[in-house]
Amino acid sequence: MPITIADVATRAGVSKTTVSRVLNGKGEVHIRTADRVRAVISDLGYVPSARAVGLARGRTRVVGMLVPALTWPWMGEVLQGAADAVEAEGYGMLLFTCTHGDESMRRFASQVSAKSFDGLLVVEPEGTLDYITGLHRRGLPVILIDDRGHQPGFPSVRTTNEDGARAAAAHLLSLGRRRPLVITGLRRFGCTRERLAGFAGGFADAGVPIAPERVVEGDFTFECGRAAVRRLLADGVPFDAVFAHNDLSAAGALQALRDAGRRVPQDVAVVGFDDLPLAGHTHPPLSSVHQPLREMGTAAARLLIAHLTGTPLPDTPTVIPTGFAARASTRVT
């Protein structure tokens, strides 16, 4: 049987309240009594519940993290960055997903009510921003990761979607590509609108506006990339490049081009967005806008923990810039 606080109290000849005061460093306890309690704790090998001690001290040293699902291609990178920062500071993490919709949110809300964590990191599940904003207004520290074009009333960490897409445009233009197919994400997402604006703006500035028939809405999946390429090939719409709004749809585009006998990059150059590990393992390896996913998770966790230890939260978003990784899908070797 595990040793309990009652066992310590009985052996030391004191009340459970006195043992609790010794553990938490709160209240007046005579030094000899405190020494006796500590000796008993050592003799019995008693390990207090971290949760109970945390609640007694008014904090849990646990960070909550709410995400839509773990199946998103880039979610693991964000989670790893956040977890590394949280663990480095001696905190724990509670992870919540919304894979079961309202039921998931009810379970999450019960943990909020129980004050199971001191602050919250959020990759916004769709439709929850108002609820998360309400938690922040009621005093729960919240950091949003990847604001998707929203302007939340609390701190956020984001990247430069528009600038990253402009970099993709500049890269393709430098290669002489003038007729790109653009496979977007879902239009309702701010990141989609920013990436489209940046890429189209880059081509427009070069005097090469993108024809509407070469902009296809996708949903960030492998299949949407493959279907978009097949559709334009079937319709006879000429294109010499593909810019896909994520690496997974770019991989689908590569597959469709290979199936159609089109050479990459000689016939069609292909660029993705995210620069996930996947990008280095496609055939050929995929050029991609590097989204600093792990760095975003790390930065958000550090902001939150700094606030929990007394540093005010910033009034403006923390912005980590994108980069660009050129690989064989655009570079003729």
- pLDDT class of 150 with cuts at 50, 70, 90: low
pLDDT digit string, tens, across residues 100-142: 999 999 999 999 988 889 999 999 998 888 899 999 999 999 9
The CATH number of 62-159+293-319, from 2.120.10.10, 3.50.40.10, 3.40.50.2300, 1.10.3720.10, is: 3.40.50.2300
Superfamily of chain region 5-57: lambda repressor-like DNA-binding domains (1.10.260.40)
- pLDDT given at position 54: 59
Q: Specify the domain boundaries for CATH 3.40.50.2300 within the chain.
A: 62-159+293-319, 161-291+324-330
- pLDDT given at position 166: 98
- Mean pLDDT for the stretch of residues 301-305: 97
d(CA 2, CA 261): 67
- pLDDT given at position 78: 97
- pLDDT given at position 46: 85
- pLDDT class of 154 with cuts at 50, 70, 90: confident
Chain centroid offset of residue 299 CA = 11
- Mean pLDDT for the stretch of residues 78-98: 96
Least confident of 103-117, 189-203, 204-218: 103-117
pLDDT digit string, tens, across residues 240-299: 999 999 999 999 999 999 999 999 999 999 999 999 999 999 999 999 999 999 999 999
* pTM of the predicted structure, to 2 decimals: 0.82
pLDDT digit string, tens, across residues 44-68: 888 776 555 555 556 789 999 999 9
Provide the CATH number for the domain formed by 161-291+324-330 in this structure: 3.40.50.2300
Q: What angle do CA 113, 118, 123 make, to 5 degrees?
A: 85
